[in-house]
Every structure is written in C-alpha cells, then in structure tokens.
Structure 1
Amino acid sequence: MVTTTSNLYSQKKSVQAVKTSQPIVIDGKLDESIWQEALPASDFIMFEPDNGQREFNDRKTEVKILYSDNSIYIGAILYDNPNLINKEITQRDRFGVSDHFGVFINGFNDGQQDFRFFVSASGVQMDCLATENNEDFSWDAIWDSKVQITDYGWVVEMEIPFAALRFSKEDSQTWGLNILREIRRDRQKFTWSFIDRNIGNVINQAGVLTGIENIKPPTRLFFIPYTSGYVESSATNTISTAKVGMDIKYGINDSFTLDAILVPDFGQAAFDNVVLNLGPFEQQFNENRPFFTEGTDLFSKGDLLYSRRIGGPPSTYPATNEGEQVVEYPNTVNLLNAVKISGRTDDGLGIGFLNAITEKTTARVLNTQNNESRNVVVEPLSNYNILVFDQRFNKNSSVSFINTNVTRVGDFRDANVSAVIFDINTSGNKYNVSGDLKMSSIYDAENSNGFSGYFNVAKTFGKSRYGIATKYVSEQFDINDLGINFVTNYHNIYAYYNYRILNPTKRYNSFRVNTDYYIEIENTTGKLQEHWLKANINSTTLKNDYIGYNLLISPVQTFNFYESRVSGRVLAIPENVYANIFFSSNYNRKFALDIEPNIRIFKQENRINYNFFVSPRYRFNDRLTLIYSANYNRQNSDIGWVDFMNDDIILAERNRSTFTNSLTGKYAINDKMTLNLTSRHYFSFAENIKFHTLLEDGSFEENQNYTTDKDVNFNLWNFDLSYSWWFAPGSQITALYRNNAQDFTNDINKNYGSNVSNLFETNLNHVFSISLRYFIDYNKAKNWIKKA
C-alpha cells in the first residue's frame, strides 16, 4: 500500500511490494492479473527546474512493484501525448534526447549508495552505482526491460534480479527507494519522493519500499568468457593475433562480490587523447579499461588510485654506458591478472580489495661500437594492492581507511601509502565537515616518508552556501607509484561562496553565482605558488540554453617550482587575468551548438593566450547523430624550459599553435545494435623566437649563445569505427576498425593540409578486431546441464 498525507513534501513516502508466484513476461504491457493487486506509487513532485511543483494532470505517473523469489518487478504508466515523447535511440548508458524513467534502490536504506536503473522511451537501458557525489555508469548489471508507446503515453516494465542488488539478510526487507521521470522536451525531472534542493544531500531524501519478505538470493556466480582476434597492418608488416580469456564475478555472500580477469584483453579500449606535452609533468589519461572503471567507488576514496599505473609505462629507464643507446623500450607493461573484492556489511562497513600483477619487462640496449645488445629489466614482476575500509553512519556520513602498496621483485622501488578520510554531515544535512590525513613511504636507495592533511568546513543547504578549506603537503609526500600527484611541499587556503536560485524566474530556469579565493604557499621559501580570485556564473534560460561566464584574476607574481627541472630553482609567473564565455544551446533541437572563447593576458610583453572552441551537432533523426568539434589554441611568447647548457637553465620564448578537430557519431540500428564513429586529428607546433637563461630570482635574460634547434611540430591521428550488438543480456559482439598515425619533427610546417597529407602518407597503421563476450549465469547453466 501507499502512505499518503496532505503534505507530500515532509512525509517520507512508503510503497509496498506485492509477492507474485505467477510468471511475469517483460513485454511492456502489464497485462498479468497480479499487477492489479499492487497499489501505485504516485503524486510525483518536480525536482528541477521548478523544485516542489506537483506533477501535471496530463502527465501523471503511476508505478507498481512486485517481487518473486528471484527478482523485483517494476511496472510504470507514464501518461503523456505520445506524439510529443522524445525517443532518440542511443548506445547503452547514453541518455541522449529521450524521455527517461528510473528506479533508485538502496538495499540497506542507509542514505549512502543507490543502485540506479533507467530505461528510455526508445527502450535503451542505463544503469549506475550512485553515491552523493558520483554516478558510475561503467557498472553494468544484468536486468531486463521493455517499453511500449501507447495512445495515452508510454509504459515501462522492468525485471531486476536480486543478484543485481545488495541488501541485508533480514527476513523483512526495508529498502530506500526513489523513482524518477524525465520529460525531455521541457527538461523537467520529477521524483516520487520529494528531493528538496535546499538540502545538499539527495540520496537520503528517498522514500521507503516495504513488503519484500523471506527472499533468498541465488548464488551470484557469473562467467564471461571472451574470444577476440586482431589483424594489425603497417607499412612494414602485418600481424595477426588471437586471444581467449574470461572474467569471473562471484558473490562471496549476499553483500560481497569477487571480480577477476584471467588473460585480460583491452585491445578495444578507447584511444587516449594524446597532446604535445612541453610541461614538467606527465599527461594524465582517462581510464578506459572496463575492469578498472566498473564499480570502483570504494577504490577512488582519497584519490590515491590512478589505475593507469597498472599496466602503464615501466617505472625505470635503462642506464647506458659510453657507446650504448636504447633501441627498444616498451610503452606499457603487460597485465597478467587482476582481482577485486568489494561489498558492504549490514552495519554499513564497506570493504574493498584490489590486487593486480604485471609481468617482468625488459628494454634492449645496443652497443654501437661492437653491435652487441643486452636486455635490461625496466620493470620487474610487480604487485599492486589497494585495501579500503569505509564505515557509513547516520545515513549521511562516513569514515574511511585506505592503503595502497606496490611491491616490485628485486632491488626496485617499493611504495606504501595510507590515509584516513572523514566526511561528516549534520543530521539535517545543513553543514559538512570533511578532511583527511595521508602518509606515504618510499623504499629505494634513499627511503623517504611524507604526509599531507586536509580540512574543510561548509554550509551545504539553502540558496547561499559557503565554506573554507586548508591543506598541507610535505616535500616528501609521494603517491605516484599507484596514484598521481604533481605538486608537493606547500600549504594553502581555499574559501568559496555561491548563490543559486531553486525555482525558475522570469528569465532563468537555473542561475548560480560562484566566488572563490585561493592562495598556495611553498613551505621552504614562503613564495607564492598560486594566488587567485575567481567569479563565475552558470545559468540556464527558459528555453534551456546554457550560458556560463568566468573571470579569474591572479593579482600578484607567483612562482613555478617545477618548470626549471632543477630542485629549488623557480620561474616567476607574472600577474595575469583569464576570462571565458561558454554557450550551449538546447540539445533537444535537431541542430545544437556549443561555443567557448577564452583569453588569458599576462603582465609580460607580448604574452597572451587565447582559445576558441566550437562544436555543432546535428540529430538527423532518432537513429543518426553527428557531432563535430574544433578547437584552436594560441600561446604567444609562452615561456618554458627546453635545455641545460653547462650550469645554465635554458628557457624558450615560443609561439605555439594547436588545432584539434574531432568527429563523433552514432547510427542506432535498434536499441541493442549501434554503429559508432570516433575520430580525432591533433596538430601542434611550438616555434622558438628567443632563448633565455633563468636567473636565481626566477626572472630571465636573453641568451644569444644558445642556438640548438628546439622547434617542435607534432601531428596525431586516431580513427575508430565500431559495430556493437548486445545480442543477449550481458553478451556482446563488437567489431572495430581502427587506424592511427603519429608524426614528430623539429621542422615547423604551418600548412595544415600538408601536415595531414604527410601524416597519412608516412606511417598510417590499421587494426581490425572482433570480440565476442558471452554472459553465463551459473544458475541457468546448472539447469542447462540438468536438462542435458
């Protein structure tokens, strides 16, 4: 039954699930008689833009819930004019321009994490694990759904197996529940349980699902064998390879799951958006490998895990003798296997364990005098480990302990990092106190220990919100064996204030003003590393066009402690001002446009940076969409390190231009089958106009004796065309054609067309691959065997 009161806003809603023994066919019709026995969850309330507005009479929503021994069933009737329903077909986990229906389930009713299941009006599934600050759509559950467009709106029917959820062992279950409906044409979102935008916390404003009793989840054991084949062709040779492997998911108990990969294959992961990197730090890449993106919320606690370290470049480079040179150096280290265990107890204790092993890897060094070569170990057999304990309490707070460890066989560097993190909200979710303490230890020729600490206090409710935070990082703090951290040895203060509207005005659906102040001071010298004030406005018009403005002022000279590549030597950064405008038109229209110009002006002769980004998109119909993006960046009189000459640090004053063009598109054959295109051409050149010597105070003077050619011309091309078919729940066939090319030279060529021609003519590589993954549920496979 449904609990209703005259006050839909303060009363926590409750709906009761009805037990069914008759089979439910997932066809979007709700024609089984048992549906008539369940009372509907109704009286939805707008979440945005007009927070608190009751649903409209002609767009009412009614949701009924059943359950069996194995699954929970959701049946929803969404009233509307069927001719106005948006229903673009997209890839799985892509929302697109479509109406949506979603169910948010929290099996522990602890206000901390939801299992969210969405389906669009075109029948496309989306699912994620959601915490208060993150939605992880890389998590994919196995569930079934069907939609039907009717003459009174549309109907949704879902079956979510209990094996896809986590919940307590109680005989009588009480789950946190919220239900969402999005009417895309008006950009309106309604929820069953009212979510007050005055309050920063969303999940614990859910209602309650009762009535589920005496359920015994089946054994959660899933096998996902795969096979893949690759043909790679370049100007010099053609190579064919084949791989066979398996992913395993095992429910250790009702709450904990083991994930393992045997003989991993990441050959079809998305390509990296590599850039010409002239700075002192490595480029950070997104993680595109499914094992390291799916269900990793626990492991991301404390920002100590940068999973690209696992199977990334080797950690050392060969030392060479006179007359030797490195002729073969691997870009990556092979991952042998990986396993992760994660889950949460009835008392709210989350436990996560991840372990991965990479193989011994060598580089080849050639003696040019006698033509003899030797292999040098650049990465030994290595073990990567992360352990997390995360205790939730009061339905809105948590304390966590995290430890990461890297152990390399032999006399190679080992590392260990530990952290304690807390995030505490008051009972009304009006104020927040958060922080951490982290310790790092490095074990190599010179052992070192470091630490960092962070503390933040904030008001998190109402139209006006503010906070202040501070951080201290010691010089020896180092998490880079399994994490990523660029700057150390500083302390800072960060203060912020923002104001937002919670309901539409005469001009805006949403409007928010943010102001920020930041100061960062190097510990040893007391010099400023950063110092700025920022103001920005984010707004959405009544026509659902987005407009944003930003202004950042760095009012005093600061110092870069890393550009010189020499410890203790600094480069002075002059006062500067940055501004940008961003406009994004409503994607509901067939033609939409994103555009952003920005500029940064330095208090230094001729030094100015400007950037222009434009991205038109066109939706031809519900199946076909193309998006083009172009970005031009110009840096005039940019200053950066290029070389050493005797004891001098040589800086280049350079003009740099960067052009990035990309095209993405999809054609949906149906809601399970898509063709997908991703292409990118990146072209950047840096032309040195003067050379300077860095002085002790961070300034510089012209050096006319340095004449080495340090100009750079870099081109990169990537192209992916793929076909994807989800032919059964959890089972997929993917065919991919990929080509790529790269060209790096010291000869500047400013002709764009000539750069493209040279890139394609000299070193274009081609890859064709096909992969088959098949999902096997142990419970069904057991029945297959019995029948056989």
Structure 2
Amino acid sequence: MKFYTLILLSLCFCTTKLCAQKLSSEKISKRVYSTKKLVKVPIIDGSIVEDAWDVVSWSSSFVEKAPDEGTAPTFQTKFKVMYDEKYLYIALRAFDDNPELIEKRLSRRDGFAGDRINVVIDSYHDKRTAFVFTTTAAGVKGEEIATGNGDNFDESWNPVWYTAANVDEKGWTAEMKIPFSQLRFGNSKEQIWGFNVIRNLFRTNERSLWQRIPNAQAGFISEAGELHGLVNLTSQKQLEIQPFVVLQYDSYPKEGKNPYRDGNDFKVNAGLDAKIGITNDLTLDLTINPDFGQVEADPGTIALDGFQIFFREQRPFFVENKNIFDFEFANGRDNLFYSRRIGRNPHRNPNLTDGEFADVPKNSTILGAAKFSGKTKNGWSVGVLESVTSNEFAEIKQTDGSKREEIVEPLTNYFVARAQKDFNERNSYIGGIFTATNRNLSGNFSELHKAAYTGGVDFRHTWHKRDFYLEGNTIMSHVMGSERAIENTQRSITRLFQRTDADHVNVNARRTSLTGTGGKINIGKQGGGNWRYNAGLFWRSPELELNDVGFLRQTDEVIQFAEINYLWQVPTNTYRDIRVSLEQVSNFDFQGNQNKMEYRLEGRVNWINNWSTNLGLGHNPLTYENAYLRGGPRWRFADKDFIYLYLNSDSTKKLSFTLGYVNRKTEENLNNLSKYVFRMNYQPFDAFSMSLNTELVKSIDKTQYVATKDFGSEKRYILGKINNQNWSTTLRLNYSLNPNFSVQFYGQPFISRGRYSDFSFVDNPTASSFNQRVRLYNQEQISFGANAKGAAAFLVDENSDNITDYSFKKPDFSFVQLQTNLVVRWEYIPGSELFFVWARGSSGSQDFNNSLTSSVQNQVFDVPANDTFLIKATYRFVR
C-alpha cells in the first residue's frame, strides 16, 4: 500500500506540472441595479403580465459559473426589483427553448429540487452575511442564511414571504414579495445592499450568475453586485407571535404491574413562541413552554470506544440563527455551545426498592428561553441566549399505592453571549464568547458541577483579494463543584488523569475546581490560481472541560496539520473539474508523546456527464491512544493503510445512485475493516421522490477493549477479538400535493452485532508487535460459567491454582433498533402549519448468534412496538 501511495503521489505532481491550467485573473467590476418605488402593487401569481412592473427595467447578461466559468449560459435570465414601504418585489424570467424539459419537481419547503433561482441579499452589506431566497419552477420556496462569506448555509431559517412560479412557452417566470421586516438593515437614507441572482438549469447542472464571480476568486458574498435606490425605508420592527398546541397519544407494551407503563398515555401541551424586532437588525426570540419534540429521531449507533456521540440539533428554537452562537474552536464537533445540553435527559436515575416503580421524565423541562441576536450596520454580530430548566422529579409508586418523589435533575440556568466585530473593510473580524452554567444543587447532586464557565476569543484576517487568510482562537474553561464532582471530572474518559504512565497529570481528590485552555491557529491560501493550502495546529489542555453546555470529546492533545490542494477548474471534453489534495496530521499529548502520524491523498473528479468519482488513500505509520485502556497505560495500535472509493451518478436524472467502498488493513491483520455503501434517489414523477441509504460495516479487531480487573496488586486490562457487523438502512418517501402540502415517510432499521473470542490481557502496551503487547489466555486459564453472584461470566484462573482470580461478563451483543414515522404537513397560510404524525419504533437485544437480517426481522415482527400519534397546530401572527 505504501508503494502504491508513493506512485500516486508522484503521478499527481507530475500531472500537475504537465496539465496546469491558467485561470482568468481579469478584474471583475461590480454590477449595480437601481430599483424604484412601485406605483401599483402587483399580484404575486408567478405571471409577470401586469403593468405594475413597468416602473423598473430588466437586467440580464448572466454569466456561467459552472461548469464553464466566464462563458455565456445555455439560456439567459433577467429580473426586475421594486419596493414600497413594507415589501421588496422581485420579478424573474428564466428563458428556456425547451420548456417541456423544465424540471418542476415538487418537494417540501427547502427541498431545492429541479430548476430554481436564488436571490442573494446582503442587506447588512457586511460582505460576509446574506439572506438567500429561492423559488423553483414548481413554486416551492426555500430560504437560507449564508455566513462566513458563503462558506456556511443555514436552511433552518423560515421567514414569512410570498412567491409563485409559472411555466410558459418562453421558459418559466417567478415573482417574490419579501417583507422588509424579515431582513436586517441599518438606518441610512439610501440603502446599498449586496445583491446577486443565481440561475440553476437542473438538467445540465449549470449555474449562471448576474454578478460574475470567477472560480479562482475567494469569497462569494463579498463579490456580489449591488442594489441601489432603496430610499427612506422606514423601520419595520418585526413582531411575530406563534402559539401552538400539541395532542399526543402513546401506545406501548404493558409492563407487568408497573402503573406508569399500563399500555397507553395521552397528553396535551401548549406554548408560545415570539419574535420581536428590537431594531431593523436586532431580534428578540422568546419561547414559553416550548415544544421541542423531534419529528425525526436520532440515528441508531453504538460507541465501542466509550466516548460520547454527537447528535445534530433538530429543535427549531435552537436551530434558527445557530450560526451566530457557534464557536467551533478546534476540529470536528468541539464547540463551546452545544444546544442539546439544554433540555437534556436527567443526570440521575431514582433509587428503587423491591416493589417500586418510577415515572422518570425523558427530558428536563425548559421553563423558558430567550435569544437576542442579529448584526448591526457597523459590523457588530451579537447573540445572547438565556434558558432555564426546572427541577425534575421522578414519581415513585409502590404496589400498595403509596407515592413518593425523588429529584433526578436540578434547576439549571444556561447563558451564552457571543459577539464579533468586522473591520479592515470587512476583510477581518475579531470576536468573543462567554458561556455560564449554574445549577441550584441545594445540598444535593454532589456528583455535578455547581457552576461551569467558558470564554474564548477568535479572529480572522484576509488579504490580497481575500486569497490568503490567518485565523485563530483561544479558549479557557473553569468548572466548580464538590470534591466528588471534580474528581469525577478528572477521572472521566475525556481526561483520565488516573492513567498509570502519565507523569504530567494525576488525580487530586481535594480539588474543588478545574481550569483548562484550548485553541487553534491556521494560515493558508483559499483563492487565486489553482493552488490552495493551509497549515496550523490546535490544542486542548488536559484540564479543559466544556460538556456542561458545550461539546468536548477528548483533551490532552496538540495536533499539527497541513494540507495542499491543486484544482483543475477549466472543463474539458472529459471532466468539469478536479481537486487533488495531500494531507498530513500529527498528534502529541502534553507529556510530549507523539501519538499519531497520518498521510492522506484524496482526489475528486466531476466528469463532463455529471458523474463524479472520489478516491482516497491513507497511511498511518504511528498510532497511540491514551484513553483506549480506560485509565490504563498508553496503548499502541497497529500501523494501518486505508483506501476508499465512491462513485456518484448524475444527480439530475430521475434515478441516481452512489456506490461506496472503504477498506482498512492493519499490520498483523489486527484491526481490518470493510464498509459497503449504496445510496439511491428516485423521482418517477414531479410530486413523488424516494431515497434509500444502506451501509454495511464489517470489522475484525483482535484488540477490542473488554474490561479492567484487579489481579492482586496489579490491574488486568482485558482485550478480545471482536467480529463486529453494523448495518443500517434509511428509507425516505416524499409526496407533495403542492408546495404547501406534503406527506413524508422515514424508516430506519439499525443493527450492531459483536461476537468475542480469543481473550487476552495487556502485558507491554507499547511493544512493537501484537504478541509482545498482550498475553492470550489458554484453555486452562479461562472458562465460561457462573461468577460469585450467580451471573453468567468468563472465569479467569490466571495462576492456574484452581481458584478464580477474577471474572468478566460475556461481552457479546446484538442491538437492534427500528425507527419510523409518517408526517403530513400543511402550511395552510404562510408561516402557520398543521402536522399529523405517526411514529413507530422499538429497540432491544436479539440473539447474537442470529444473522443480521433475522435479528432485524425478529425486532420488527416479533417485538411489540411503541406507537405515537401526534397532532400539532401552529398559527403565526405577523405585524
């Protein structure tokens, strides 16, 4: 594998020299559209036939962005813009010589399917943030908030606005009516906004822009044209009130004498969300007794490494404007604010005696939450969030009918404040964040932090037409609590201060606080020419702790990284574009140990027929893990090589698919893996679509951690050979009667099965070969039977004296989960919705000797499922 990697690297750089492309470096002037105030109000029906539009002129001359940047598009597009005191009006004409080929695919809001036009409005004119309004040829609306100069698009934003589309003999037309109350802008006499219009010709996967942006140009929003002529706009302070009511009926298998699980429950919930425009650019969001139920459940997964699993936020109050509060300080998921901590499941389970049953809340009740957020004309981006969750009690009943309560979660206050300031003509910013978590422990919950605070500063600077950048951040955390709470923090898998070979950390059982730091520095080239590159490092000190209101997987790391990319951006008769990248990563701990070295070569080709290929190769000549033995010594993994290949068909066709394969081979065949991926999307007609995503992962790991046991004065870190298979299939069906009425089905069976054999214990954890790192138990040393408590377990007689020295339970497992839901959604007026939901699911253990398919069949057909029927109605009052 190493030999082939070197060959491919050589070919890559040779090809770069031979096939280097020269990209246009001409200066692109800013286009300007001057709007005017309307005289008559047009009817928004998608047909631009009224003379109300005659007060302004058309603008056209769109230029292709992809695949052949800088050329004339297949068909031209034109638009008009006008306004009155409350609304911005936009008319769009997309010419097409073959209107019968226009893709009018229906989907739910934000589906972004078929032919479409995006209108980009940078009303802040900060050249980094924009509101994007989309209309498809079928009249489906979509909207996004673009941040980071176009690096991030958040489609969770759902403003109230109006649009319609119509197909005719010349192509298709659309009209938009956007309330100024949904935008954010300053108080200038004449507004100057960033503005662009983007046309997507779906069947050829072609994009054309009103304001040309060359592919070599870094940035997207900063390069938009300008909208002039908005004079004397009056302040449109937004006021929206959205009450809701939810009726929910749950049906589930009755559980013996448990009075709380008698087979069914019915509950009613009601609350209110409000949005108040404090100024044109700052908004206050409020919620009282919010309904944070998720329509789509979290995907099934199992973490064999012991670390917590990140799940994306799906609750509307936290999803909207989440970009303002993000502070991703390192790589991956690490963030100072992880909103799923708010309203989490209780930390405790009640203590029950024989004959007692408990009704335990699934989530902490959010008594109220408020957000103040927005961006000012002078470049300040601000966000403040305050939320309080209540004391949670488990109600406990005995068989004689007596009741008592036991607290399982304390009253908790969460606070987040975020700010950024643009300067240097919007080419740079500096910002900061502060979070606070305070719990009212009332002499209880000694295992929890009483208070947790984090703070951070971040910056980004770009220069030379934004081609080059320097960015970084630094953070600090401080947690306080009882000696027990802080000792638990030191011993958690995120830190493991008790590691036997760690000289730089140790458990101090007398501590009542912990302070840590982290940060990142990154410099690189992001635009101009064909080369892109970056390098930097980030660190997390051993004492860092973010998990009260943030997300942190692991500490005690200093990671150095470097990446170089070459781009072929001028299409040929064979391909549309190509990207090849070479990456290098090394990892150290704060004791100075080097724990990782990795090299990776990746390439992506978008072929001229809209197919694409992704290929990646990698080599890890060195890998150690401090946390693998759960507090034991540093563990050495085998050297590994990996390869992956993905083939994607033309996504513009009614039927498209992805085939993927991942393979990992390790030294001595200690931890090999194969992954197979099949994804399919099919839209037989405009109103109906389906998608299927299937993944099968097979791995054999001879060094899977099982348990830690005492053997006299020594520790035994027990490993086993696991034959692990994971399979999941996700099916989605969507039927749209019209852009405002849809029926959706989601179903996902998931199974993870692990069977263990060949148990061993760690002898020399950093030795070069596997046989030196472990000692395998022989047949005389290990047997299967009953332990001292009568439970089935493996019994170990390590010194062969016919006395059991220690035991561990049989680790084999087969976990199966089924999740399905059927959702009918009707947006009966803009911003007001009615949901009918049926959710059905079950989870449990199956016989690990069964095949994957039979285990899933048993869980689906033999195990009683839980059913939820839900009706939710919302009504949005807008002023």
TM-score (norm 2): 0.84
1:434 to 457, 471, 485: 471
Count how many residue pairs are aligned between Structure 1 and Structure 2: 764
2:319 to 265, 278, 293: 293
* 1:346 positional shift: 1.9
8 Å CA contact retained: 2:670, 2:702: no
**Letter aligned with residue 520 of structure 1:** N
Q: Which residue of 2 aligns with 1:269?
A: 295
8 Å CA contact retained: 1:571, 1:694: no
CA distance in 1, matches of 2:127, 2:454: 29
Q: Which residue of 2 aligns with 1:469?
A: 536
Q: How does 1:695-710 map to 2 (within 5 A)?
A: 695=763, 697-698=765-766, 699-703=773-777, 704=782, 705=796, 706=807, 708-710=809-811
Structure 1 residues 36, 758: closer, same or farther in 2, change over 3 A? closer
Q: Which residue of 1 aligns with 2:372?
A: 341
Q: Which residue of 2 aligns with 1:90?
A: 107
Structure 1 residues 278, 592: closer, same or farther in 2, change over 3 A? same
**Letter aligned with residue 668 of structure 1:** S
CA distance in 2, matches of 1:42, 1:678: 42
* 1:53 positional shift: 1.3
Task: Report the secondary structure of 2:340's partner residue.
Answer: helix
2:337 is aligned with 1:305: yes
8 Å CA contact retained: 1:12, 1:208: yes
Q: Which residue of 2 aligns with 1:505?
A: 572
2:53 is aligned with 1:35: yes
1:204 to 222, 240, 247: 222
Task: Report the secondary structure of 2:265's partner residue.
Answer: strand
2:730 is aligned with 1:662: yes
CA distance in 2, matches of 1:577, 1:322: 53
CA distance in 2, matches of 1:638, 1:372: 52
CA distance in 2, matches of 1:732, 1:452: 44
Q: Which residue of 2 aligns with 1:352?
A: 383
8 Å CA contact retained: 2:63, 2:211: yes
8 Å CA contact retained: 2:614, 2:646: yes
Q: Which residue of 1 aligns with 2:363?
A: 332
Gap regions ≥5 residues in structure 1: 1-6, 780-788
CA distance in 2, matches of 1:50, 1:91: 31
1:592 to 626, 645, 656: 656
CA distance in 2, matches of 1:322, 1:94: 52
Q: Which residue of 2 aligns with 1:492?
A: 559
* 1:758 positional shift: 3.8
* 1:484 positional shift: 0.9
8 Å CA contact retained: 1:280, 1:562: no
1:571 to 624, 631, 635: 635
* 1:329 positional shift: 5.6
Structure 1 residues 366, 83: closer, same or farther in 2, change over 3 A? closer
Q: Which residue of 1 aligns with 2:694?
A: 630
* 1:330 positional shift: 4.8
2:198 to 180, 187, 190: 180
CA distance in 2, matches of 1:533, 1:215: 56
* 1:724 positional shift: 0.8
Q: Which residue of 1 aligns with 2:828?
A: 727
8 Å CA contact retained: 2:816, 2:855: no
Q: Which residue of 2 aligns with 1:460?
A: 526
Q: Which residue of 2 aligns with 1:785?
A: none
* 1:409 positional shift: 0.6
2:439 is aligned with 1:408: yes
Task: Report the secondary structure of 1:352's partner residue.
Answer: strand
Structure 1 residues 18, 8: closer, same or farther in 2, change over 3 A? farther
**Letter aligned with residue 101 of structure 2:** L
8 Å CA contact retained: 1:87, 1:120: yes
**Letter aligned with residue 400 of structure 1:** G
**Letter aligned with residue 182 of structure 2:** A
Q: Which residue of 1 aligns with 2:238?
A: 220
- Note the alpha carbon deviations across 1:375-398, whole angstroms, 9 max, x for none: 553320001111011111222321
Structure 1 residues 11, 382: closer, same or farther in 2, change over 3 A? same
- Note the alpha carbon deviations across 1:666-712, whole angstroms, 9 max, x for none: 01111111110110000111101122223353433224325631111
CA distance in 2, matches of 1:512, 1:386: 39
* 1:554 positional shift: 0.3
Structure 1 residues 105, 258: closer, same or farther in 2, change over 3 A? same
Q: Relative to structure 2, which stretch is displaced further, 500-509 or 64-73?
A: 500-509
1:107 to 111, 123, 136: 123
Q: Which residue of 2 aligns with 1:382?
A: 412
Q: How does 1:531-680 map to 2 (within 5 A)?
A: 531-556=597-622, 558-566=623-631, 569-605=633-669, 607-646=671-710, 647-680=715-748
Structure 1 residues 542, 308: closer, same or farther in 2, change over 3 A? same
Structure 1 residues 693, 375: closer, same or farther in 2, change over 3 A? farther
Structure 1 residues 437, 231: closer, same or farther in 2, change over 3 A? same
Q: Which residue of 1 aligns with 2:305?
A: 279
Q: Which residue of 1 aligns with 2:188?
A: 170
Gap regions ≥5 residues in structure 2: 1-24, 255-262, 329-334, 483-511, 767-772, 783-795, 797-806
2:266 is aligned with 1:240: yes
Q: Which residue of 2 aligns with 1:775?
A: 876
Q: Which residue of 1 aligns with 2:866?
A: 765
CA distance in 1, matches of 2:359, 2:558: 42
CA distance in 1, matches of 2:80, 2:464: 31
Q: Which residue of 2 aligns with 1:251?
A: 277
Q: Relative to structure 2, which stretch is displaced further, 174-183 or 44-53?
A: 44-53
Aligned-pair identity in percent equals: 25
* 1:754 positional shift: 4.5
* 1:639 positional shift: 2.7
8 Å CA contact retained: 1:527, 1:559: no
